[in-house]
Amino acid sequence: MSAPVLGIADLWAGYGDAPVIRGLSVTVGQGEVAVIIGPNGHGKTTLLRAISGLLRPSGGRVELDGQPVQGRPPEHIAQLGLVHVPQGDGLFDQMTVEENLLMGAFPRASWRARRRALGHVYAMFPSIGGLAGQRARTLSGGERRLTALGRSLMRPSRIMLIDEPSLGLAPVAIDTVYRAIAELKAAQTTLLLVEENFTHVADIADAVHVVEMGQIVRSGSFGELASDPVVVATYLGGL
């Protein structure tokens, strides 16, 4: 495999004195869709926040295209091509859907191409196009998630981190969101998703990593993990 887009080695991070991520290592290759699954409270969100710089890691390395970025501010890491769709979608609630999308194109080079990017996003998610003038706080959960995903396409990215795309959504909305993610995969986007279980990721995951107590405890293809009785019992609920 070529050099990884994202390389994480012995990463430590947490809040106050309590480490949540304890020496975690993982890599994501070009065009790969990596999924991290694990129970709530075992560090999935903390991991993504430590990668994108919202949380300052207390130790270890985060490399983006071979360049160390740990400890850099999130706006700096974002400008290097890392896109993070955070838990709760991170929308600007008093702004319209279109203004939210435009903010996704904040870096100067992307701002110049913002009209073209808007057209691209509306073509990809026609349902958002109809909501362009609506304020974000009036959107449904599914519309919010799609707006957040659409916003992440407003600038070119090297890798996109998505925090629990299915969280809090009705089943029909989850389907829509995962169809959108499948389209991202089809467009060769490098993705790192976290989910509580792997119910929804069967068709898209190239690699699945299981996180427990802030460490990766199992890694493999979806097929490998789906045939492991322990993993299945824990994360597929006996499906």
Partner 1 sequence: MLLTDLVGIAVTTVILGSIYGLVAIGMTLIYGTLRILDMSQGSMVMVGSFIAWGVLVVAGWNPVIAILLAFLATFGLGVFTQLISVQPLMKRRDAIDFEMVTFITTFAVAIVFTNLALEILGPQQRNVTTVVAGGINVYHGVNLPYQSLLMAIVSIALMAGLGLFLARTRWGMAIRAVAQNLDAARLMGVPVGRLYPLTMGLASALAGVAGVFLGGLYFAYPQAGDLPLLEALIVVIFGGLGSLLGTVYAAYAIGLVQAIAEVFAGTTWSLPILYGVILVVLIVRPQGLLGKPSEARL
Residues in the site for partner 1, rule: CB under 8 A? Answer: 52-54, 73-76, 78-79, 83-84, 86, 90-95, 99, 102-104, 106-107, 111, 151, 155
In terms of CB distance, is 29 or 90 closer to partner 1? Answer: 90
In degrees and rounded to multiples of 5, residue 22 shows phi and psi of: -120, 85
Distances (CA, A) of 79 to 100, 106, 170, 181: 17, 9, 33, 22
Cβ–Cβ < 8 Å for 180, 149: yes
Q: How far is the CB of 45 from partner 1 (least distance, A)?
A: 12
Q: How far is the CB of 52 from partner 1 (least distance, A)?
A: 6
In terms of CB distance, is 95 or 213 closer to partner 1? Answer: 95
Q: How far apart are CA 212 and CA 191, in angstroms?
A: 21
In terms of CB distance, is 151 or 218 closer to partner 1? Answer: 151
Q: How far is the CB of 105 from partner 1 (least distance, A)?
A: 8
In terms of CB distance, is 52 or 198 closer to partner 1? Answer: 52
Count other C-beta atoms under 10 Å from residue 27's C-beta: 16
In terms of CB distance, is 38 or 104 closer to partner 1? Answer: 104
Q: How far is the CB of 51 from partner 1 (least distance, A)?
A: 11
Count other C-beta atoms under 10 Å from residue 60's C-beta: 18
Q: How far is the CB of 54 from partner 1 (least distance, A)?
A: 6
Q: How far apart are CA 164 and CA 157, in angstroms?
A: 19
Conformation bin of residue 142: beta by default, left when phi > 0, alpha when psi is -120 to 50: alpha
In terms of CB distance, is 87 or 197 closer to partner 1? Answer: 87
**Single-letter code of the amino acid located at 73:** P
Q: How far is the CB of 111 from partner 1 (least distance, A)?
A: 5
Query: From edge to edge, which strands make up the β-sheet containing 18-28?
Result: 18-28, 6-15, 59-64, 67-68
